[in-house]
Amino acid sequence: MKITRRLLVAAASVALATSAVGAPLKPLTPTSNVVETKTKVQIFTIETGKGLDDVASILRAISGNGVFRHGQTNVQALVAKDSPLLEGDIRHLLGRIGKVSDVTDTLLVGKSGASVPVAVGLEIPYVKERIVETDAQGKVRTTEKKDVIKTGFAVDVKSTLRKDGTIKLAFSQRVATLIHLQKADFGDGEIQLPRVRQTSIAFDASVDAGQAVLYVQFDENGGERLLAPHNVVVTLVTPEDVR
């Protein structure tokens, strides 16, 4: 099966998305009537055998003294400016949880208050329908109809500069994962039935310059009940610059 890996970046007319390393922080003071924001989005997946309580303990230690919430299948934190997570090697720190894989490290640039979407994923081709026909002369003809399954991450970020100098972040993320392709008989032919799991998160947060928002999601089986290795999705959203 041929799998095509694609980086899909969508941009609104007032915003664009580029992959880059974040620029140094600047004071949150607009220099013109048009305010441009920069927000870094980092997403990682981690294969781990640890339960959510253990993962939360590690994250609490590396995220600093900001607000920290630990739910049944997720962790949310407001990361302090001087936290090891922002000042150190993030992949090395997350490696305490398990095997880290990069999904994206993207700098989103846009007008204050405008949504900036970005998607990173796979397009997996599959046989949507296969029809086998036999004509009057006994000749067999097979016809296939193909389609693609879109999996991966779709993110939307809106950064809005407030009058008090803080930034309001509105963030949403959807994750689509192919579980399996099942073959099934269909008339004189067969089809492939994809099973795709989709999860989504959304949150709003107010941050100061240099702070970040951390969101960690366990897979749908969730938390301490998992015994075998499983994936944890780590998302770090950091306002980088306003001008």
Q: Could you report the per-residue pLDDT of 84-110, keeping only the tens digit for each?
A: 888 778 889 999 999 999 998 989 888
| Structure token pair of residue 75 | 């962790």
The answer to whether residue 4 is domain-embedded is no
The answer to whether residue 84 is domain-embedded is yes
The answer to whether residue 205 is domain-embedded is yes
The answer to whether residue 58 is domain-embedded is yes
The answer to whether residue 136 is domain-embedded is no
Residue-wise DSSP of 61-101? HHH-SS-EEE-SSEEEEEE-TT-HHHHS-HHHHHTTTSEEE
Task: Give the pLDDT of the chain (243 residues) as one tens digit per residue.
Answer: 332 233 332 222 222 222 222 333 333 333 345 578 889 999 999 988 888 888 888 988 888 777 788 777 888 888 888 888 887 788 899 999 999 999 989 898 889 889 998 888 888 888 887 777 777 888 888 778 888 888 888 899 999 988 888 899 999 998 888 888 887 776 666 677 888 888 888 888 888 877 899 998 886 554 444 445 578 889 999 887 666
The answer to whether residue 123 is domain-embedded is no
Q: Strands 68-70 and 230-242: what pairing?
A: unpaired
| Structure token pair of residue 113 | 């208050």
CA dist 70 → 45, 64, 94, 113 (Å) = 18, 15, 17, 29
The answer to whether residue 184 is domain-embedded is no
Residue-wise DSSP of 142-158? EEEEEEEEEEEEEEEEE
The answer to whether residue 146 is domain-embedded is no
Which residues form the domain of 107? 14-118+156-179+198-242
How many structural domains is the chain composed of? 1
